[in-house]
Amino acid sequence: MVNPKVSAYLGFALKSGNLTMGFNAVETLKKRVYLLIVCDTASENSKKQAKKLERKFSCPLILCKDTPLEEIVKKPLCKFAAVRDKKLAEALLNVTNESFGIYLGGND
């Protein structure tokens, strides 16, 4: 089960229009990306693409492990999202744990 604070912060980002969902939508962004989130159920190619976007935006990438991202943001088949609000990104980073943590690549 995902931390309730994570769900709340992602809900705030969604309602305020500061959450961009989907690889194609995030790729078109030019700036103001403070946090990337990839779902553990995403394919290995998708995770590699997420790592590329992490380098492009120079921001942290976190992995959502226990609860699929699509359930948290209530959008079917959502595997990737970008938080575009600095304060919400910082808040999400502060509540990371073993089920929602920094993605280092490989088999974490």
- Is the pLDDT at 107 greater than 50? The verdict is no
Question: Does residue 56 lie within any of the structural domains?
Answer: yes
Note whether residue 78 is domain-resident: yes
Q: Is the pLDDT of residue 104 over 80?
A: no
- Please, are residues 38 and 46 in contact by the beta-carbon 8 Å criterion? yes
Domain containing residue 76: CATH number? 3.30.1330.30
Our count of domains for the chain comes to 1
Tell me, yes or no, whether 96 lies in a domain: yes
12 occurs within a structural domain: yes
Question: Domain span at residue 13?
Answer: 4-102
Residue 108: inside a domain: no
Is residue 39 situated within a structural domain? Answer: yes
β-sheet bridge partners, residue 106: none
Q: What is the pLDDT of residues 58-87, one digit of tens each?
A: 999 998 888 888 888 889 999 999 999 999
pTM of the model: 0.88
Render 26-84 in DSSP notation, one character per residue: HHT--S---EEEEETTS-HHHHHHHHHHHHHHT--EEEE-SS-HHHHHT-TT--EEEE-
Tens of pLDDT, residue by residue over 6-60, are: 888 888 999 999 999 999 999 999 889 999 999 988 999 998 999 999 999 999 9
Residue 107 lies in a domain: no
Give domain status of residue 77, yes or no: yes
DSSP secondary structure code for residue 104 in this structure: -
Mean pLDDT of 87-107: 75
